[in-house]
Structure 1
């Protein structure tokens, strides 16, 4: 279930209603009045949740799911477990997005409410600069400073002795103690998720959160997207430079450093003590091991083992990349190739 601090529960909805809403066919018509309370990924769904399946790489998740219902195509319907009611659709992910919008709604600021909402809880010593807005049920810890024009969204929790810069936007997030977020950073906006529907490209609902642990620093104008369903997490004492982007569901370990223009695509997992040079870029669903080092402007498209240094485009172990670069330089200069010392 999406965190109720950030998402309004609009359910339940019967399977018959969801089938009509998405243009699907409920195979077990006797389950038409069964009520669904939430959407969820197959691996986390329970008997009152609705999932979807559209990628054959994850057929094991479908076979093992405890979901009460699932959107699938006709070709894969037989793979679902008996306990899971099947709604057959042409585009399962689009149907799931439609159902998610029926069951959940992100909470927003209340029109006409005062700048600091009456239900917000501010501990002793909180300093709020002019123009800052703090939404309903937000919490701000002792000694934290909120800069001019900052916006703290509904339900957000910020720890003690934090420094929130001017025009920072924070939503759908839980922030630890002694966190510094510099001017213009945006925490918790929707991650990039889209699907092709019959009517064109649609946005996929993003129902997760952002967790920033203690002593994290986020540079100016950086963006950290909330999770698509699971959380985006930045571990303790990680330091993020200006103009860095973390996509949805990224998990960053402790004591990492990221120089400016680093971009981490969604669902990548980064271990402890990893370093990124400026303008490094990572593809999605990668695993970067503890203590790895990614050179500036590297384009990482494969998992990086712990402790290794990679660079280049596409990125590879740094010595191999340097040898290849030197060889190409010699060939371009018309010299004979030879070993690299």
Structure 2
């Protein structure tokens, strides 16, 4: 379930109310059933409502313990006994609307910049204009520079550093972490889907976890998870102007040069390195000790220990051979034209 430090639960809500909200249809006798939360199919329980849009997940649907599921008419027959089908043309959009109804992000709305409900250990140093929300915790020896904003429920460990104008929300930060100026940690990731009246945002109900010793460069952004967490492992170093999308899991001792972009749900092994302006598509698995050359565009999984470059990225020796061949072919063509 969404972390109560960051989200208020607004349930339980009757399925009849959710059906009215989303335009879904359900058996009349099921309208009084109540649910307390949304959940992905893998995390659903008897108090939750989930969704299915892809036939690849019908086998998982057959064993779900969820109380209810948003599903299209073509997949309604696959909903197991004991789970109530809410039939809609747009299951993911219905899920998004239900999430907004059941969960609300906690806000810092008081008049005081430093909430009296925040907990600061000894020797925390705050610059002018710092805002710290209710329930936030800051460890001993941490420095927070001018105009940084620490959202409700955020936990920051000891001997960490937060640069000026940085924004941290929906996040758990370890010890000795450095977050440089203007970095944004824990904002809403890029999740959208087509709804009955156009494109709508999908609520992002996860967190960001930065483990001990992580550095996040200036103007970099790390999005909170859509439901699971976005995680950056111990001692990983992230340069300026890097984008890390929701649900990404980065191992320990990785390095990422400026303008690297990691799409959602990528898993990166320990000790991997990314040159400047490298980009990865979503849902990839990058093995341990991988090196990705500057400017590479990675469109498929990379085995452990390999070095890839180019676009689309491929093993570096193969890419260099192809570049050399193209250079020779181009040169021969020009020489032939000149004669």
TM-score normalized with structure 1 length: 0.96
Q: Which residue of 1 aligns with 2:35?
A: 36
Q: How does 1:250-269 map to 2 (within 5 A)?
A: 250-269=248-267
Q: Which residue of 1 aligns with 2:197?
A: 199
Q: Which residue of 1 aligns with 2:26?
A: 26
> Given that residues 233 and 252 in structure 1 are in contact (C-alpha distance below 8 angstroms), is that contact kept between their aligned partners in structure 2?
yes
Q: Which residue of 1 aligns with 2:56?
A: 57
> Structure 2: which 5+ runs fail to align?
335-339
Q: For residues 287 and 57 of structure 2, what CA distance do their matches in structure 1 show?
A: 24
Q: For residues 7 and 173 of structure 2, what CA distance do their matches in structure 1 show?
A: 18
Q: Which residue of 2 aligns with 1:3?
A: 3
Q: Which residue of 2 aligns with 1:155?
A: 153
Q: For residues 21 and 66 of structure 1, what CA distance do their matches in structure 2 show?
A: 23
Provide runs of 4+ in structure 1 moved above 6 Å. Answer: none
SS of the residue corresponding to residue 125 of structure 1 reads: coil
Q: Which residue of 2 aligns with 1:324?
A: 322
> Given that residues 132 and 151 in structure 1 are in contact (C-alpha distance below 8 angstroms), is that contact kept between their aligned partners in structure 2?
yes
Q: Which residue of 1 aligns with 2:96?
A: 97
Q: Which residue of 1 aligns with 2:12?
A: 12
SS of the residue corresponding to residue 98 of structure 1 reads: helix
| CA shift for structure 1 position 57 | 2.3
Q: Which residue of 2 aligns with 1:83?
A: 82
State the number of aligned residues: 334
| CA shift for structure 1 position 335 | 6.6
Pair 1:67-2:90 in alignment: no
Return 53-62 or 219-228, whichever deviates more: 53-62
Q: For residues 109 and 98 of structure 2, what CA distance do their matches in structure 1 show?
A: 25
| CA shift for structure 1 position 58 | 2.2
| CA shift for structure 1 position 66 | 1.5
Q: For residues 303 and 82 of structure 1, what CA distance do their matches in structure 2 show?
A: 38
SS of the residue corresponding to residue 62 of structure 2 reads: helix
Cα RMSD after superposing both structures: 1.0
TM-score normalized with structure 2 length: 0.97
Q: For residues 21 and 104 of structure 1, what CA distance do their matches in structure 2 show?
A: 15
- Deviations along 1:145-204, whole A, 9 cap, x unmatched? 001000000000000000100010000000000000000000000010011112111111
- Deviations along 1:37-75, whole A, 9 cap, x unmatched? 000001100011000001122222222221110000010
Q: Which residue of 2 aligns with 1:339?
A: none
Q: For residues 286 and 80 of structure 1, what CA distance do their matches in structure 2 show?
A: 29
Residue of structure 2 aligned with 1:167, choices 165, 168, 175: 165
Q: For residues 278 and 60 of structure 1, what CA distance do their matches in structure 2 show?
A: 41
SS of the residue corresponding to residue 26 of structure 1 reads: coil
- Deviations along 1:195-217, whole A, 9 cap, x unmatched? 11121111111110000000000
Q: Which residue of 1 aligns with 2:238?
A: 240
> Given that residues 139 and 155 in structure 1 are in contact (C-alpha distance below 8 angstroms), is that contact kept between their aligned partners in structure 2?
yes
> Structure 1: which 5+ runs fail to align?
337-341
Q: Which residue of 2 aligns with 1:178?
A: 176
